[in-house]
Amino acid sequence: MTEAVAVAAHQKRQVGFLLGLGILFFPLLFGWMLLRKGHSVLSRIVGFTWMALCLVSLIGMGSASKTSYDNYKEKAAAQSSSSNAPPKQQVQSEPMKAYTSAKVAQDYDDNTVAADMQYKGKRVKVSGRITDINTDFLGKPYLVLAGTNQFTGPQFKFDKSDMSSLATLKKGAQVSVVCIGKGDVVKTPMFEDCELSK
């Protein structure tokens, strides 16, 4: 009986220092050694749990790098298409078109697709009556000019450096701004990179 216990004790394996390091840093390679006879159930559970965690993190890193690569491809495609665009001098030599804020609002109300073709990504001059002077959640100032109704007046975003100029304005005043069209949000025309026009 004592001889059998001694043999059983002799067959029980301990996870040595080197094997422990191997499992810690290279679990997918060394974790399988825990399947040899003599290792305890606890050491196998701990080793294979660690292996599973490392495998999941590797898969997560792979999908994150794929997402980064996809983003990189999209940016590269956007840059190559912008490099095919006409030079800035040619774009600037085109005469800037001027509109009223009511016309801009009416155009977006009538047909968003046609309005985007007319305003989105283009530098235009828009004139109208100020209905609101405010700041967005980032603290950037913007103006709202009168549209076809009180809810869809076009919004014109400025840089923070324009705060002092906008601070002199009052609701109800007529103003002209030069901006780049940004499309619409729920039929509200949006413009950015705005400057007050003389």
pLDDT tens-place string over residues 118-155: 999 999 999 999 999 998 888 899 999 998 887 888 99
Give the largest CA-CA distance in the chain: 105
In this prediction the pTM is 0.52
- Architecture of the CATH domain 92-196: Beta Barrel (2.40)
Contact 175, 130 (CB under 8 A): yes
Element (H, E) at 192: strand 188-196
Average pLDDT of the residues in 30-53: 75
What gap in Å lies between CA 183 and CA 154, rounded to an integer? 10
pLDDT of residue 118: 92
What gap in Å lies between CA 163 and CA 139, rounded to an integer? 10
Share of the chain above pLDDT 90, in %: 32
pLDDT of residue 89: 43
- For 114-128, the pLDDT digits (tens) are 999 999 999 999 999
Element (H, E) at 97: strand 97-100
Contact 139, 126 (CB under 8 A): no
> From the CB of residue 133, how many other CB atoms can be counted at a distance below 10 Å?
16
- For 64-98, the pLDDT digits (tens) are 666 666 666 677 766 665 555 554 444 445 688 89
- For 48-65, the pLDDT digits (tens) are 787 777 777 777 776 666
Q: Which amino acid is at 136?
A: D
Phi and psi of 40, rounded to 5°?
A: -75, 160
| Positive/negative CA dihedral, 124, 125, 126, 130 | positive
Residue ranges of the chain assigned to CATH 2.40.50.140: 92-196
